[in-house]
Chain A
């Protein structure tokens, strides 16, 4: 018999979703953590001051320049990020030397500085939230390119699963608000549908723009036909895709001319952008006759067109003071990238991004569980079924516990240990491996409850661990009104409570007798 359109869509949705679901769960969960990467960075460096010192931006920028001047007086570029960004009460300075030969990367130095004194500050070595963020598109323990291809393939399947999911959801409007709680298959289907439909705009946007991000990897030949295969030519494309066309920066003149004082330049920028408007400063060819000082305004709307001002570094004259006109395709692509990253998001919008990310993660998890619920009466005992059941548990409980272990390692590993950041990541995967092993060895129903309790403890005890090991615990962050810091502790508490609730509600044994479907129908 010829299968109908909807059946074949269902087939694609079911099997595509199942085979990529475990990787997608990882991608979505670590990506969601990426929305609070700066907050995690700060939490994972508890040596940072509790309160940002009040320093005038021009002074902070000057102190950054002073350090760079001493560290690398002749450089291709200097970069200073003043305090006041999401994660930072400190000042970041970064310099890159002229490359030794064409196409190579110049030597780099960077440091965190105290914005009041300009003296470098040393923090514990950590991967921070950035590492989780990077994992969501490059995975870990493998070459960058391999990770990008695996994630790209799964993302493509995700995109197909979203579209087919909408097609096969026959009652998308009728069931818009429908959730029938319980432990049967129907509750899982309702949950899967709700999480998919209510956050559908986010799912579509995040998946499509995710593919767009690495299109230069996945569709290299298409780009090469226009740009060529040379590394330098591909760079031209990538630069154009990710940055607005660079203002023409001249080559180095080779004649030494001192850099103009910064204060008037900062004053000019603040006149246009408001006080504290300068988010980043770049100096090209410092100390050269062709020096350029560039100020960047932070991203405030989802367009990725970073507004900036370019000054002549020897006279202080304004050379370029606005936004570039972008070709339409570039503007469209950059808007998608910007929507994906959400860098423009303030606290409320950041929460919405985070919640939508969690909804996506939960949608994937519920889809994986649903696959087993649908088949448990028919396939119980089959080897493939057992494998899926174990992998589901190992992923859905194991990875969150791994992330909690990453935070535990951040607090517990010796501070002077070499390779500390790598060891933190190892802790994540070690904890995950242990839970995966546990999932493989224990009876399924009991293993779920046990792992949920482990996850509840792993997250729920983090505020306590934090209070025992640092001065940046809730007792300090809450009275000081440092919500970005407190939110990590409170978020861990909430995750712990959530896992405890699930563990509490889980049946101790797998429901015997009636297949889930019959129970569901009887209840209707």
Chain B
């Protein structure tokens, strides 16, 4: 996994939590103006705290989650099995034998393009057995996708 993946995830979290922060600001302003009675008094009085809480949580996420994820995420392709480990809060290990792979896609989003990264999607006949490896350098991703697709083709029967 490329260390630039950390930057990618940080940017993604920043965008997401920035949006949440904006929403929280809007909600707080709206509730403050409308003087809505349905909320108990103690909550209505402190609605101004909502944006600060969301902002703090967002900062924490942006600072911690990408590094944590980078430490957890691993992938490995042995002779005939693809192995990935993903997640940060909950972890997932996935083992898919190459002979059971149906399609291998490699794709790039906007942020990934700026950072020169790519994501590989390994699809099998089952949703449970399909996985994504993100944050790979483009060259590695392309090579891996082609390699896997070829080997899957050589090994496959009907892959179910």
The yes or no verdict on A and B being binding partners is: no
